[in-house]
Structure 1
Amino acid sequence: MVNQELIHRKLTKLIQYLDELKAVQDYTLEEYLDNYFIKRTTERLIQLIVEVATDINGHIIVDEGHNPPHNYYQSFIKLGQLNLINEDLAQKLAPSTGLRNRLVHEYEEIDDQIVFESIETTLELYRQYIKEIKDLVEKI
């Protein structure tokens, strides 16, 4: 059985991080590029958003009696395949884990423009994710 209290606590954090990220949306690309505090804050918020969501995914998948996902990407895919969230949404969210990995592990030079351009998509997709997770928890 899904630990609803845990999921709600994590959703509260996710909402907080999205609210903080929304403040960055008001900057132009030039302002963003010229302010390393804003850049690093944005990077960290995106990292935290993805990590909290994948943690939620893992808890739900395991609590529903399934094997844990192999990685962050698969946590979204599996949630969609199990019809726990909309599969199309899961497919759109899964690639955000790649951006998280590049930010955390600095696999390659971080492209500030890509990070900046991901802000709006992150806000949009993760708001939808929150709604679907809330609906799911109410049904379980």
Structure 2
Amino acid sequence: MTNLSVAENKISSVKKYLSILESYRNHSVEEIKRDATLRGAIERYLYLVCKTAIDLTEVIISVSKFRKPTTMSESFVILEEEGVIGADLKARMAKLVALLNVLAHEYEEINYEVLYDVLRSRLQDITEFVETAEMFLNLK
């Protein structure tokens, strides 16, 4: 499988996860707090969409032969340095890395107000990143 095929697969997965998450957007924060099954599904798909978007950065870096990152957040720094994304998108995506770490490692108790905000207001950041990646890789 070529790196571009890997990128296409990552993009397809991100879009699938975003679509699933969209179906949860109309739930209130109270419903999310109260319903463990709903909460678990949202947490899992947020984890998957964040992780897959970060994996996509690694594919872009590899294809483009940019320097290798030492952290997940640094992947977005490198993409900004190389002109793939702007500083604003880099900053927004870095927040998703922080969310991924909380979801994956339970560093702290999950703040469901933050989870709700991501679900309602931050998914478009990932959509913007994917669209930018598609254009950069000439996949769109």
Q: What's the TM-score, normalizing by structure 1?
A: 0.91
Unaligned runs of 5+ residues in structure 2 are: none
Deviation at 1:3, TM superposition (A): 2.1
Contact 2:66 2:78 in 1 (8 A): no
- Name the count of aligned residue pairs: 138
Letter of the 1:124 counterpart: Q
Tell me how far apart the structure 1 counterparts of residues 41 and 115 of structure 2 sit (CA, whole Å).
11
Tell me how far apart the structure 2 counterparts of residues 97 and 50 of structure 1 sit (CA, whole Å).
7
Tell me how far apart the structure 2 counterparts of residues 21 and 111 of structure 1 sit (CA, whole Å).
18
Match of 1:80 in 2: 80
1:38 equivalent in alignment to 2:75: no
Match of 2:114 in 1: 114
Tell me how far apart the structure 1 counterparts of residues 74 and 19 of structure 2 sit (CA, whole Å).
26
Q: How does 1:36-115 map to 2 (within 5 A)?
A: 36-115=36-115
Contact 1:80 1:88 in 2 (8 A): no
Tell me how far apart the structure 1 counterparts of residues 16 and 122 of structure 2 sit (CA, whole Å).
14
SS of corresponding position for 2:109:
coil
Q: Percent identity?
A: 23
Contact 2:29 2:112 in 1 (8 A): no
Deviation at 1:118, TM superposition (A): 1.3
SS of corresponding position for 1:124:
helix
1:133 equivalent in alignment to 2:133: yes
Contact 1:29 1:113 in 2 (8 A): yes
Q: Deviation above 3 Å: which 4+ runs of structure 1?
A: none
1:102-140 residue CA offsets vs partner (Å, 9 max, x unmatched): 11111111112211111123311011111101111118x
Match of 1:4 in 2: 4
Deviation at 1:8, TM superposition (A): 0.8
CA RMSD between the two structures: 1.5
Q: What's the TM-score, normalizing by structure 2?
A: 0.91
1:38-66 residue CA offsets vs partner (Å, 9 max, x unmatched): 11111111111111111111121122112
Tell me how far apart the structure 2 counterparts of residues 121 and 8 of structure 1 sit (CA, whole Å).
25
SS of corresponding position for 2:137:
helix
Tell me how far apart the structure 1 counterparts of residues 25 and 3 of structure 2 sit (CA, whole Å).
33
